[in-house]
Chain A
Amino acid sequence: MDRTIRVLVAKPGLDGHDRGAKVIARALRDAGMEVIYTGLQQTPQMIVEAALQEDVDVIGLSILSGAHMTLLPKVSQLLREQQMDDVLVVAGGIISDDDAATLKNVHGIAQVFGPGTNTNDIVAYIRANAGVARD
């Protein structure tokens, strides 16, 4: 039976700009996914706990504050500790190419979407990769 893809969209850290996160939430909704939107100023602990309770396939992290090299690896680390490695983690926001490469190669972030990314590309990526590791 087809399972509805569930995505947690969260804003880690202290920046207060969630327009991008809302645009993504809306696009994923229109693509038939269930989006759990948790709001601003989430700690990595809050994000991982919400992902656990909601049993999501994907976590989408929107971050514009520049703190991504601190907060995003922390999310991945907590997911590993909870044995939730099967959750796909993607990020969006202002993240340099160098940082994006490090996040992908070292810190378990599956994909980084920069400004100007077409939401259709994000939908297609999630459809192709969500829940692949899940039993």
Chain B
Amino acid sequence: MHIPDLLPRLLQGDRRALARAISLAEQGGSRARDLLAGAYPHAGRAHTIGITGPPGAGKSTLVNALALELRRQKRTVGIVAVDPTSPFSGGAVLGDRIRMQPLGGDAGVFIRSMGSRGRLGGLSRATADAIALIDAAGFDVVLIETVGAGQGEVDIARTAQTTIVVEVPGMGDDVQSIKAGVLEIADIFVVNKADREGADKTLRQLRSMLHLGGPPEDGWEPPVLASVASNGQGIPEIIADADRHAEHLRGAGFADAHARTAAEGELRAAVQELVVERLRGAAWDALVAKIAARQGDPYSAAEELINSL
């Protein structure tokens, strides 16, 4: 498939072109930038919803259930599922599709698995690009499943319009719930596996944690919902609140603020990538060797390189 054909086919919703375009974005480089530049003006219509939470909380199962419900409502769904890349081999086992088998064979659903490829924030470098491409291909909703998140993987809040934080019963005491990090980024809390013992207590702790903070600045009070994703319980309520949140963003003008924050993140990432790509070469290698031998420091070396641009 030739690159110039990719963009028009992608914009018509051609699935193979979309798949190939995402690979190109993951690879990076000037061909990827040309493609993304062409697709970018056509994106921005989809509602982007991030799903994050600890490993084993049921994120993939929840994404599957949310997608099934969205399909019942006749909305098309793109899914980006990120799993960790091995820091040792650079390889990865991407297993999120296992829980999404019920979505197979539906032309209104497109699922893409991505390795985190060295990124630590719960997403990969190209995740935002993949979302933009799926958006440009015309999908109504994009669900983004992060790497199993601990406490600090908060990139998703900048990338997605609506962030859902998934917890499960019995994870830590009530001090866990006032720590900074993942719990601060939720627009919607979901306590999944709510048929398990301790679900009520977890729901209570999350609600009281939210009340400790006083009224939220942006006027959005994150709802705390219970679900059993494996049997669909609580799923329509989550979709309803996600829709309500999108409406809130639009109504209060927060969507623009969110778009600016996201745009700044994307610009910064693009500048970093381009600058590093331009600077790599003999001078770069020489400076790396000098720094490794403690004959130079990375800060002066960075300045020297930037000044040479």
Asked whether, in the complex, the Cβ of A35 is within 8 Å of the Cβ of B2, the reply is: no
What mask results when residues 21 to 37 of chain A are scored 1 for a CB within 8 Å of chain B, else 0? 00001101111111111
Asked whether, in the complex, the Cβ of B97 is within 8 Å of the Cβ of A31, the reply is: no
Residues of B within 8 A of A32 (CB): 89-91
Which residue of the partner chain B has the closest CB to A51? B19
Asked whether, in the complex, the Cβ of A30 is within 8 Å of the Cβ of B115, the reply is: no
Q: Is A105 an interface residue (CB 8 A)?
A: no
User: How many A residues touch the partner, as a band?
Assistant: 20 to 34
Count residues on chain B whose CB falls below 8 Å from chain A CBs: 32
A33 to B91, CA, bound (A): 4
Asked whether, in the complex, the Cβ of B112 is within 8 Å of the Cβ of A53, the reply is: yes
Which residue of the partner chain B has the closest CB to A35? B93
Asked whether, in the complex, the Cβ of B89 is within 8 Å of the Cβ of A31, the reply is: yes
A23 to B176, CA, bound (A): 37
Asked whether, in the complex, the Cβ of B93 is within 8 Å of the Cβ of A29, the reply is: yes
Q: Which of A3, A31, A49, A82 contacts B91 (CB 8 A)?
A: A31
Asked whether, in the complex, the Cβ of B16 is within 8 Å of the Cβ of A82, the reply is: yes
Write the nearest CB–CB distance from A64 to chain B, whole angstroms: 19
Q: Is B152 an interface residue (CB 8 A)?
A: no
Asked whether, in the complex, the Cβ of A29 is within 8 Å of the Cβ of B112, the reply is: no
Q: Is B28 an interface residue (CB 8 A)?
A: yes
Q: Is A99 an interface residue (CB 8 A)?
A: no
Q: Is A50 an interface residue (CB 8 A)?
A: yes
Asked whether, in the complex, the Cβ of A135 is within 8 Å of the Cβ of B1, the reply is: yes
A31 to B89, CA, bound (A): 6
Write the nearest CB–CB distance from B279 to chain A, whole angstroms: 16
Which stretch (B61-69, B98-106, B180-188, B240-248) binds chain A? B98-106
CB-CB under 8 A for A54 and B90, given A1-B29, A37-B98, A38-B97:
no
Q: Is A52 an interface residue (CB 8 A)?
A: yes
CB-CB under 8 A for A36 and B97, given A1-B29, A29-B86, A135-B1:
yes
A45 to B104, CA, bound (A): 9
Write the nearest CB–CB distance from A56 to chain B, whole angstroms: 9
A50 to B90, CA, bound (A): 22
Q: Is B70 an interface residue (CB 8 A)?
A: no
Q: Is A14 an interface residue (CB 8 A)?
A: no
A39 to B102, CA, bound (A): 12
Q: List residues 50-93 of chain B with CB under 8 A from any CB of chain A.
A: 85-86, 89-93
Write the nearest CB–CB distance from B88 to chain A, whole angstroms: 8
A29 to B98, CA, bound (A): 17
Asked whether, in the complex, the Cβ of A34 is within 8 Å of the Cβ of B92, the reply is: yes
Q: Is A4 an interface residue (CB 8 A)?
A: yes
Q: Is A46 an interface residue (CB 8 A)?
A: yes
Asked whether, in the complex, the Cβ of B112 is within 8 Å of the Cβ of A35, the reply is: no
Write the nearest CB–CB distance from B221 to chain A, whole angstroms: 37
B contacts, CB < 8 Å to A = 1-2, 15-16, 19-20, 22-23, 26-29, 85-86, 89-95, 97-98, 101, 104-105, 110-113, 115, 117
Given A1-B27, A30-B86, 20 new contacts (CB under 8 A): A3-B23, A30-B89, A33-B91, A34-B91, A35-B91, A35-B92, A36-B94, A37-B98, A38-B101, A46-B101, A46-B104, A49-B104, A53-B15, A53-B19, A53-B110, A54-B19, A54-B111, A55-B20, A55-B22, A84-B16
Top 10 closest pairs, chain A to chain B, by CB: A29-B91, A39-B98, A55-B19, A32-B90, A46-B104, A55-B23, A32-B91, A32-B89, A36-B94, A34-B92
Q: Report 18 cross-chain contacts, Cβ distance below 8 Å, ordered by A residue.
A: A1-B27, A1-B29, A3-B23, A3-B27, A4-B26, A4-B91, A6-B23, A26-B93, A29-B91, A30-B89, A33-B91, A34-B91, A35-B92, A35-B93, A37-B94, A38-B101, A45-B105, A50-B104
